[in-house]
A = this chain, B = another copy of it.
Amino acid sequence: MPVCFKLIMKSAFYPVILAGGSGTRFWPRSRRRRAKQVLALDGKQTMIQKTVERLAPVSHEKDFWIITNEFVGDEIQRQLPSIPPKQMVIEPEPRNTAPAIGLAAFILERIDPASIIGMFPADHVIADEKKFRKVLQRAIEIAGRGENIVVMGVRPSRAETGYGYIETGDKLDQELFRVRRFTEKPNQQRAEEFVTAGNYYWNSGIFVWSARTLTRALREHLSETTPYLETIAAAWGTRDFEKKLGQLYPKCENISIDYAVLEPRSAKGEHSSNLYCLPADFGWNDLGSWAALYEHHAAALPGTNGRNVVEGKDVYAVNATGNYIYAKNKFVAAVGVHNLVVVETDDAILITTREQSQDVGKVVKYLNDKKMTDLV
């Protein structure tokens, strides 16, 4: 009875959205208090609103969890009023993904021992939402059996050196593979080899597993941090929670879930690791830089090369191609310039090239060094 099955799955599935990023890559639009996840980079909704909306048909709003930081917490609550406030956990200090998703797992295991947890970055673009949800449903189903860990892989469309890759092994069916290995960001040559090999996928950062599987994995692979997370989780729902969180969370190891659990687990060998990859093409883009945002928007424009992507009040471009221009306040004239990124906000202007736009972090560092905190 698939309908009944689906309802059971829905009740047990908890999306945990990791929204702690500081998002310096979109400076000057992104700031500590306006990090990427709370910006509307792709349409009218913000990245986190889109993330929740995309997942809503698979879960209930009351079952969402958000792990975020003090800078954007209030803004997220404002943007997502129907998420229960006590399911928004504010990290007292950033500790990367392992403590964040780990804390959610320990809490959810106490609330519902049959919980299936999905871990989702708050700030990625997914163009084909229906396909995404179809793959996610399958992941939930697989994660519900035994101690399976499912990662969503993205078929690489280029030899990208900015992402981690998943090397797959046995093909179990048309769309399911065992994971052989997680690899770090490769160099150009290795990235090209991965793409040619055909069994490598981009690591989307989306994982699905049961709360129990995750808590067991943490006990095994992150034994020092686990007691802190268990103590905090035990206080959830009590007036002690904030205090415990503030005391113990900063003691947790600052480590990603990939490093902490998935890589050591994959080292057990693909047949005993219980790691599965569901590869898919659902138009995934992590929007990691202004250049990536340009490409995302340019792909949606008519024509082929040299399109200017303009988000602005009024822009006039003459003999100008391939530029990304964002200016909500002022008229912008671009004359004879190519492949630039121009971003104007109320208090700052960024001028860079698409190629160098990932270096915008240097500006944020400069502003921090100079104590120009208004601009950060």
Contacts and interface: CB of A to CB of B under 8 A. Distances in A.
Contacts of A330: 344, 347-349
23 contacts: A27-B333, A314-B372, A316-B366, A330-B348, A330-B349, A331-B347, A331-B372, A332-B348, A332-B349, A333-B348, A333-B350, A333-B352, A333-B366, A335-B351, A335-B352, A335-B353, A336-B353, A336-B355, A336-B359, A342-B349, A342-B351, A344-B349, A351-B351
A351 B324 CA distance: 12
A195 interface: no
A319 interface: yes
Given A319-B359, A327-B349, A28 B372 contact: no
A357 interface: yes
Nearest to A347: B330
Nearest to A323: B351
B335 A337 contact: no
- Contact residue range for chain A? 35 or more
A334 B352 contact: yes
A372 B314 CA distance: 11
B318 A333 contact: no
Given A342-B351, A363-B318, A356 B331 contact: no
A41 interface: no
A244 to B, nearest CB: 41
B336 A356 contact: yes
Interface of A: 27-28, 314, 316, 318-319, 327, 330-337, 340, 342, 344, 347-353, 355-357, 359-360, 362-363, 366-367, 372, 375
Nearest to A331: B348
Copies of chain A in the complex: 2
Interface centre among A27, A334, A351, A359 (most CB of B within 10 A): A351
A320 to B, nearest CB: 8
Given A331-B372, A356-B319, A351 B340 contact: yes
Contact of A318 (B353, B366, B375): B366
A366 B349 CA distance: 24
A152 B327 CA distance: 46
A349 B335 CA distance: 11
A331 B372 CA distance: 10
A206 to B, nearest CB: 31
Nearest to A334: B351
Contact of A363 (B316, B327, B352, B375): B316
Interface centre among A27, A332, A335, A350 (most CB of B within 10 A): A335
A208 to B, nearest CB: 38
Q: Please give me the 9 A-B residue pairs with the lowest Cβ-Cβ distance, nearest first.
A: A336-B356, A335-B352, A333-B363, A331-B348, A332-B349, A334-B351, A333-B350, A335-B359, A316-B366
Contact of A352 (B331, B336, B352, B366): B336
